[in-house]
Chain A
Amino acid sequence: MAYVALSEAEKTFILHGVEEDFRCDGRSRRDYRPMELETGLVSNASGSARLRLANTDILVGVKTEIDVPNPLTPEFGKLEFFVDCSANATPEFEGRGGSDLAQELILSLQKAYESSLAFDYRTLCLIPGQQCWKLYIDILILECGGNLHDAVSLAAKAALYNTKLPRVTATLLDAGVTDLIISDNPYDCTRVGIDAVPLLVTVCKIGDYCLVDPSAEEEVCSTVSMVVAVSMRNNTGRCGGYKMLRPFITKFLSTAYLSGTHMTGGGSMHRETMLNCIQLGLSIGEQLNSLLVKMLKAEEQRVGPKRPKTVGFLK
């Protein structure tokens, strides 16, 4: 993580703030910093999102490519993550300095998205066993102000929501060879399902307390943190008999699942503390997820399919 020099007195100040449930910027332990989210601003990518979480700035672009599916999973598409820690985020990323951090972020994302229950790989299928979409999720870290895991996963989910795959029709030629025709109309497209796409929540332990969304300064004070990948999933299969009521029921039936957790930060914690951390992460992830989906839908309604012309990229 980015290095911030803090004196003992400053650390104690932060620690006392956490104990009082009143952190340096006035938040409580369960609050996030203000977020700014924009989607669809990179014209060359199929989907994109920019997230600014206080000082953390993330830009995500999704590129698409047609690939051959793995024979073991003929109906599944593919995902690939790439994280670039640019040197203007912090001077330490210069050269190869950011590669460790990038590797860690890629790994946690890969793990979280690995399960077919977390990300519906079937929506990326074109012709089973022959052609599928491969999505390249390129994540660029523009500024590093703490809590990268959460910011990156939020931005990735938003970018996936924004991703538009051109509609593809296939014609069967001789000898079982298929020919793909990609639609010319840029508005004729399919979307990627993001219902169960996981979000990473970092629960940070400072002193005896756990908190979410640590700032860069708070990260320096923490002994250990836990990254929890939360995936919301509604088991619609169970309420098959009540089809009419399903939209109402599912709202309450959607439960939080873990799709990957690990500890980071060089400390250890007690079993009970860890379970508390996971519990906190799950409840925060649930709220975050519903808010994100709500905001994405609101943005789409307001802006519509065509973006108004913006001048300048970073406003």
Chain B
Amino acid sequence: MLRVAPIKNTLLDGATITEQLYTTPKDCEDFFESLEKPTEVKATPRSTFIRAGVLTTVLGSAYMEYGNTKVLAIVAPPRELMRSSARRMNMGVLNCYVNFAAFASGELETVPEREKHLGGMLTKALEPLVCRNEFLNFQLDVRVLILDDDGCLLSTAINCCGVALVECGISTYDIITASTACIYKNLVFVNPSAKVEELLGQHRGADSAQMEEHGLLMNASMDTFEQLAQCQQCGYMKPETFVKLLDYTLEINKSLRQLIRRVLTDRVKEQHVLDKKEQEAERQEDERLAGIIARLKEQGLHEFIQSNIKEDPYTKK
């Protein structure tokens, strides 16, 4: 990994020795060499697993695995706004909180900053999705727990939250899907892994004498009306490259959308079967009770009570 953590050794008398780890800009290149490079751009999502309704304690929950990235999203029903200052807006308020599990990422130092940043971006991406006019003066809390980080965090979180929102029964305008693509050293990586993302973050070692585009694009789209809910780009690139990456992500979003649709319809069917079973059980219970009542009418009350009295084993002694 490319992380640099200067280790401080504090001596007894209070003096410190800072131990410099021997990392050089060449490490970036070695790191890049060690990466698996794509030979062609395949705009397909990683192997994905999504399941809605994984928790019974909250109304809306979803779990998603996108390759090795694992994310859990929780949506609670809207509750009344506490702060009166935000009340005068004509829309409900959406709050997103992102948390890293303690074991999710190797680097702990920047975690609070990343959590804040991801939370902010997630809120921005979900705001166009939720029908916020339906819960005026209410706030909706969306919580995301990241269990494992292998790149594409924000886009996976958006996908997962979209499913959790539907599961919770919050009205949304559409199904949201998101994906990430990046460019580094003229190579396009779709669904970049954590390593590639890290390399992009540390890119600054590159030689600026030769013009090299680098950057990352995250795109969340709602395909029914071909709307983009969020499109975020960082790095340095030409507008043409931007369009190229945008189209790759849109294509991935399309296939993800089919998957999410299937997951949601399956979930509804599953729920339907469960409901039917419950109805069946209820019907049987009703039948049993009806039988008892019928017997009661036949036998007369006194006999029925006598037949139901069981001798108490303690008083018998």
Contacts and interface: CB of A to CB of B under 8 A. Distances in A.
B198 to A, nearest CB: 11
B88 interface: yes
- State the majority secondary structure of interface residues on A: mixed
Contacts, number: 131
A266 interface: yes
A73 B25 contact: yes
Contacts of B230: 262-263, 268
Interface in B144-178: none
Best-surrounded residue of A103, A261, A267 (most CB of chain B within 10 A):
A261
Contact of A261 (B4, B85, B232): B232
A266 B127 contact: yes
Given A263-B230, A270-B226, A73 B205 contact: yes
Nearest to A115: B236
B288 to A, nearest CB: 54
Contact of B208 (A97, A116, A231, A266): A116
B201 to A, nearest CB: 8
B120 A107 contact: yes
Contact of A278 (B4, B124, B234, B239): B239
A161 interface: no
A271 B246 contact: yes
Contact of B236 (A117, A263, A267): A117
Contacts of B229: 263, 268
Interface stretch (B16-24, B51-59, B98-106, B265-273): B16-24
A260 to B, nearest CB: 5
B222 interface: yes
Interface string A107-120: 10001001111101
Contact of A104 (B22, B120, B205): B120
A308 interface: no
A37 interface: no
B205 A268 contact: no
Nearest to B207: A116
B128 A262 contact: no
B2 interface: yes
Contacts of A133: none
Given A76-B204, A264-B124, A3 B239 contact: no
Interface stretch (A27-35, A135-143, A206-214, A250-258): A250-258
Interface string B102-131: 000000000000001100110010011000
Interface in A15-30: none
A16 B82 CA distance: 37
Contacts of A111: 234
13 contacts: A5-B88, A72-B23, A72-B25, A114-B235, A116-B203, A117-B212, A261-B231, A261-B233, A263-B228, A263-B231, A266-B127, A269-B227, A271-B250
Interface of B: 2, 4, 20-25, 27-28, 85, 88-89, 91, 116-117, 120-121, 124, 127-128, 132, 202-206, 208-212, 214-215, 222, 225-239, 242-243, 246, 250
Question: 3 shortest A-B CB distances, which residue pairs?
Answer: A268-B128, A115-B236, A268-B227
Given A72-B202, A116-B206, A268-B229, 14 more contacts: A3-B89, A72-B24, A72-B204, A73-B205, A114-B235, A115-B204, A233-B211, A261-B242, A263-B124, A267-B127, A271-B246, A275-B243, A278-B242, A282-B239
